[in-house]
């Protein structure tokens, strides 16, 4: 009986690892994260721009929930998460929640420091929203960070344009 039990335990130890749930390979997670981002953007976020109330509010709420879900489900997918966090900021701005929008934009640098394009766009968006709301000192902090990090003679033209715009706003504050 002991031999049979030992054999069964040995067989179980041999087979059990194959039965355990395995994490999805990174490529599969990246594809799943991108698919979720694309679906949320296509089905909710983009249509919200053309919708009228109350449909607009419903679509924006669905978009926010979708982006937040992506951030929870795929924290290791930095590119998609950076896109989702910036998009969440845009949704909060469209919902009229300036502080939540700025908070989302500000979180991007700390959570996804290598996602240069998303950081640039987030800082520009935060600065512009705050500027339009008359909160120029707060806007200046984002514009200053943008200029300090991205002012580079070898930068692409679109980056140089963002830096130029930020510098122009900073000159208006002085």
DSSP assignments along 41-87, one per residue = IIIIIHHHTT--TTHHHHHHHHHHHHHHHHHHH-TT-HHHHHHHHHH
Tell me if 22 sits within 8 A of 70, measured CB to CB: no
Last residue of a domain, one of 62, 97, 114: 114
Number of structural domains (the chain) is 2
Same domain, 106 and 139: no
Question: Which residue is listed with tokens 């997918």?
Answer: 77
Nearest residue to 151 (alpha-carbon basis) of 140, 142, 160, 143: 160
- The pTM is what? 0.82
Same domain, 147 and 76: no
- pLDDT (tens, 9 = 90+) of the chain, 174 residues, equals 445 334 434 433 444 444 444 455 678 999 999 999 999 999 999 999 999 999 999 999 999 999 999 999 999 999 999 999 999 999 999 999 999 999 999 999 999 999 999 999 999 999 999 999 999 999 999 999 999 999 999 999 999 999 999 999 999 987
Tell me if 41 sits within 8 A of 26, measured CB to CB: no
CA pair distance 46, 126, nearest whole angstrom: 20
What domain range includes position 59? 28-114
Instruction: Flag whether 139 is in a domain.
Output: yes
What CATH number should be reported for the domain holding residue 88?
1.25.40
Instruction: Flag whether 12 is in a domain.
Output: no
Tell me if 141 sits within 8 A of 115, measured CB to CB: no
């Amino acid at each position: 009986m002991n031999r049979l039990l030992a054999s069964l335990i040995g067989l179980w130890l041999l087979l059990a690892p194959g039965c355990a749930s395995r994490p999805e390979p990174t490529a599969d997670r990246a594809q799943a994260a991108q698919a979720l981002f694309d679906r949320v953007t296509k089905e909710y976020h983009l249509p919200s721009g053309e919708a009228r109330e109350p449909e607009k509010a419903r679509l924006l709420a669905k978009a926010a929930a979708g982006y937040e879900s992506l951030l929870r489900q795929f924290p290791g997918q930095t590119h998609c998460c950076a896109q989702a966090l910036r998009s969440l900021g845009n949704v909060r701005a469209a919902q009229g929640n300036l502080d939540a929008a700025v908070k989302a934009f500000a979180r991007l640098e700390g959570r996804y420091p290598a996602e240069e394009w998303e950081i640039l766009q987030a800082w520009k968006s935060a600065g512009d929203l705050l500027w339009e709301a008359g909160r120029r000192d707060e806007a200046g902090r984002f514009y200053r960070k943008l200029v300090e990090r991205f002012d580079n003679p070898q930068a692409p033209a679109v980056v140089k344009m963002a830096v130029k715009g930020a510098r122009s706003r900073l000159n208006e504050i002085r």
